[in-house]
Amino acid sequence: MIPTLEWTSEGVRFLDQTKLPLEETYVLATSYQQVADVITTMVVRGAPAIGVAAAMGVALGVTRSQAATIGDLSTEVRQICQVLAATRPTAVNLFWAISRMEELFYTLERKPDATIDGIRAAMIAEALKMYDQDIAACRSMGAHGASLLPKEGGVLTHCNAGALATCGYGTALGVIRSAVEQGSKIQVFADETRPFLQGARLTAWELMHDGIPTKVICDNMVASLMRRGKIQAVIVGADRIAANGDVANKIGTYGVAILAKEHGVPFYVAAPWSTIDLETAHGDDIPIEERAAVEVTHHAGKQLTPDGVGVENPAFDVTPAKYVTAIITERGVLRAPYTEALQSLETAAVNG
């Protein structure tokens, strides 16, 4: 399995995704501040992976804390959570994971027999549980979504929603993996995904690792390939899905969705429930991260654009729900109207 991130006795170990595919190197974060840095600099990226990374960051902060009393530790936990929450604004998994860790801490600290060591052990166990649950969710999405993909044909994906973006197996790439395991003959087309090149560098690397036929295409080739009938389905991941089914994902996804609609190609989104944000009513309310201009003006340290040119670099866009054929989650496959479909699966889960 691709070791995206791992809890170790020395700290949290990350496969450095900024170096792939040319170098397979690791970064060991030994403090929560280093985990925050690893998330901001995209050593680890992808919504589910940054959620679990943040949970491990909280556990690491609690483990390494010098606090002498539970009260002091409580003050530190607030600080740890604030630092981790300030890393990247769009993927809701980050905030979901931090809240889950914070709530656990506040439950534990109120117990009359609470000890610092007991809290530490429980926080580590919770982060590890989230890691396992993420892999299980990916496997389940794969099982639910595989039959939606063609038995034979081209499947386009944008960015990287694979093992590298999760704790293993992947969301969109998990569905592709599952379809291939069931015998489908799929030719994957991976958009290169300017400017960070998650498709060209990461999706291509991990699918080749599994022997799944993959071709990298430039982002501007999608329309032409669809018109020539080479793409039978699109499947992408998500960073946040609003209560009405609008989907925030990597910049460029919206354009792909419009092209899919125009060419009659189904457009699927695969995401765990931790990506669904029922508190945000509409996609327009999702905060979109703006990243540094240098990601657009330079590549691998080489300048591509004239000195001083203006740049926009939104890292994500929002695809309105009307372009989404289905949302694949670990709880099942949802179809429009999404407001009702999302709410009814949530109610069912809350009622057990």
Question: Does 198 sit near ligand MRU (CB under 6 A)?
Answer: yes
Among the listed residues 134, 239, 246, 277, the single catalytic one is: 239
| Binding test (CB under 6 A) with ligand MRU, winner from 249, 274, 280, 297 | 249
**Quick check: is 113 catalytic?**
no
Pairing of strands 5-8, 11-15: antiparallel
126 binds ligand MRU (CB under 6 A): no
CA angle 85, 89, 93 (to 5 degrees): 70
Q: Which tokens is 19 given? A: 């170096």
**Identity of the residue, 198 or 319, whose beta carbon is nearer to ligand MRU in the bound complex:** 198
By CB under 6 A, tell whether 315 contacts ligand MRU: yes
**Do 90 and 316 touch, CB atoms closer than 8 A?**
yes
- The torsion angles phi and psi of 178, rounded to 5 degrees, stand at -65, -40
| Contact characters 68-97, ligand MRU, x per CB under 6 A | -----------------------x------
Instruction: With CA atoms as reference, report the closest residue to 64 among 34, 96, 43.
Output: 34
Report in angstroms how near the CB of residue 170 gets to ligand MRU at its nearest.
Answer: 6
- How far is residue 184's CA from residue 197's CA, in Å, rounded to a whole number? 27
Stretch that binds ligand MRU, among 51-59, 71-79, 146-154, 237-245 (CB under 6 A): 237-245
- In the complex, the smallest distance separating the C-beta of residue 181 from ligand MRU, rounded to whole angstroms, is 19
Q: Based on CB atoms, which residue is closest to ligand MRU, 119 or 195?
A: 195
H-only helix segments in the chain:
32-40, 47-64, 70-85, 92-109, 116-145, 172-181, 204-209, 222-227, 253-263, 294-297, 338-350
| Nearest residue (CB) to ligand MRU, 59 versus 165 | 165
Closest CA to 156 of 322, 313, 267, 285: 267
Q: Which of 254, 256, 276 is nearest to 332 (CA)?
A: 276
Is 45 an interacting residue with respect to ligand MRU (CB under 6 A)? yes
Rounded Cα–Cα distance for residues 263 and 261 (Å): 5
User: Contact with ligand MRU (CB under 6 A): which of 12, 20, 47, 269?
Assistant: 47
**102 vs 295 by CB, closer to ligand MRU:** 295
Least separation in angstroms between residue 193's CB and ligand MRU is 8
Pairing status of strand 267-270 against strand 233-236: parallel
Residue for token digits 């656990």? 104
- 159, 217, 241, 269: residue in contact with ligand MRU (rule CB under 6 A): 159
- Number of residue whose CB is nearest ligand MRU: 237
List the catalytic residues.
239
Which amino acids are annotated as binding site for substrate, given as ranges?
Answer: 45-47, 88, 198, 249-250
Which residues are near ligand MRU by CB under 6 A?
A: 45-48, 91, 159, 161, 165-166, 171, 198, 236-239, 249-250, 315
